[in-house]
Amino acid sequence: MKSIGIVGCGAIGRALLHAADEGKLVAKVAGVASRTEETARRFIATLREPPPLLSRSELIARSDLVVEAAGGSAVVELARETFDAGKDLMAISAGALLDHPEIIERARESRCRLIVPSGAIAGLDGIKSACVGRVAYVRMTTRKPPAGLEGAPYLVERGRGRC
């Protein structure tokens, strides 16, 4: 059985952890790494079988596959660390690859797998599928709780990092 390490404990990370806790994943969760350690600790404590909260380097070392659920700003450094350790990476924040195509080349060079799930852009996949027929109108709404943006690098750089 493969082990996964989850980087990020927001909506996507939590959904993965819930699925693992309910036995819906065919993988063992080696651990979780999060920049919001206290929030992650509180969430992990609600699980029946809570995985350990680890540093990123510990998480990578203990995992066969690292799953990025931390947002696009984390992908470049995480990919470098993961591939340097000879581990595979699933990048949920697929858009980061557009800005940093060197990640794809680094995966090739290291002979590690870079997995980009199509569900990472489920809204666009849904629209594309709907376009098989006739589409007259599309409205996409994304919701993120304000606390989920706490400490986000984009906001911190602009002096708005506290919610």
Hey, what are 92's tokens? Answer: 């949920």
Hey, what are 135's tokens? Answer: 């589409």
- CATH number assigned to the domain with residue range 3-120, chosen from the 4 options 3.40.50.720, 3.40.50.1110, 3.30.460.10, 3.90.930.12: 3.40.50.720
Q: Are strands 65-68 and 28-33 parallel, antiparallel or unpaired?
A: unpaired
What's the CA gap between 64 and 92, in Å, rounded?
Answer: 17
Per-residue pLDDT tens digits for 33-71: 999 899 999 999 999 999 999 999 999 999 999 999 998
**Would you state the pLDDT for residue 144?**
63
Q: How many CA atoms does the CB half-sphere of 58 hold within 13 Å?
A: 10
Q: Which residue type sits at 153?
A: P
**First CA to last CA across the chain, in angstroms?**
40
Per-residue pLDDT tens digits for 101-159: 899 999 999 999 999 886 545 555 555 555 666 667 666 666 666 666 666 676 777 77
Residue 151: left if φ>0, alpha if ψ -120 to 50, beta else—which one? left
Sorted by where each begins, the domain ranges of the chain are: 3-120
- Nearest 5°: phi and psi at 153? -50, -40
Quote the pTM value. 0.73
Q: How confident is the model at residue 163 (pLDDT cuts 50, 70, 90)?
A: very low
